[in-house]
Amino acid sequence: MTDFKFVIVDPKPALCAVFHQYFEGLPHVEIVAARFEHLPVFDCMVSAANSFGLMDGGVDAAITDFFGVSLMRRVQERILLEFRGEQNVGTSIIVETGHPKHPFIAHTPTMRSPMEISQTDNVYRATWAMLLAVRQHNLRQEPKIHLVACPAFGTGTGHVPFAEAARQMSMAYRNFLNPPQQISWDLAMDRQLAIRYGGDFGFHYPPETTKPRPANATSP
């Protein structure tokens, strides 16, 4: 189980409808059709970030407008100190905002720089990293994070279809809620077969959420 609530927030009703389907039955989660600034309560806002802490586009720009440019500078200082200037996809750091009601953000890269990530497991990796970062914070530090507000990873600049983003995020959350009792190759292969992206075997399209693009197609 988890000691925090997971709120996925996005102003697009169509996206929220898809996320409702994939997260149905999972505990301590809510899908809210709104901008994060309109949420009455949250302890930690998740930044769907790039690896360099350049928070001037998409949801990151809204986060910077809400918390101030000084937050972006603090994020970049942490990236310089802890990651030597480039925070990998698959990591997440909890950064204090200085805001009395919303004290933290989780800076969580979904891509190195603005690019399409529709044929990657970046959404799963980012969600997994963020959930672990919040858990580690709550185990070690005060104040605790009780409510995490998170955008739908990859659905903007990343061009990840709504259903694929929902599939990967819900899978990460489900796995987080139900950790294995032991590690084995069966576990590793089951996880990879379920995620279907990444690894030495290349990229595979989950047929129920997206269709292959023609070989000669170019990125938008």
Strands 5-10 and 147-150: parallel
**Tens-place pLDDT, residues 72-104:** 999 999 999 999 999 999 999 999 999 999 999
Domain boundaries, the chain: 5-195
150: which strand partners? Answer: 8
Q: What is the pLDDT along the chain (220 residues), one digit of tens a residue?
A: 689 999 999 999 999 999 999 999 999 999 999 999 999 999 999 999 999 999 998 899 999 999 999 999 999 999 999 999 999 999 999 999 999 999 999 999 999 999 999 889 999 999 999 999 999 999 999 999 999 999 999 999 999 999 999 999 999 999 999 999 999 999 999 998 898 887 544 455 555 655 544 444 443 3
Coil, helix or strand for 7? Answer: strand
CATH of 5-195, one of 3.30.420.40, 3.60.20.30, 3.40.220.10, 3.40.50.1100: 3.40.220.10
Could you report the per-residue pLDDT of 28-56, keeping only the tens digit for each? 999 999 999 999 999 999 999 999 999 99
CA proximity to 127, closest of 164, 102, 99, 74: 164
Cα distances (angstroms) measured from residue 93 to each of 14, 24, 90, 169? 30, 28, 11, 18
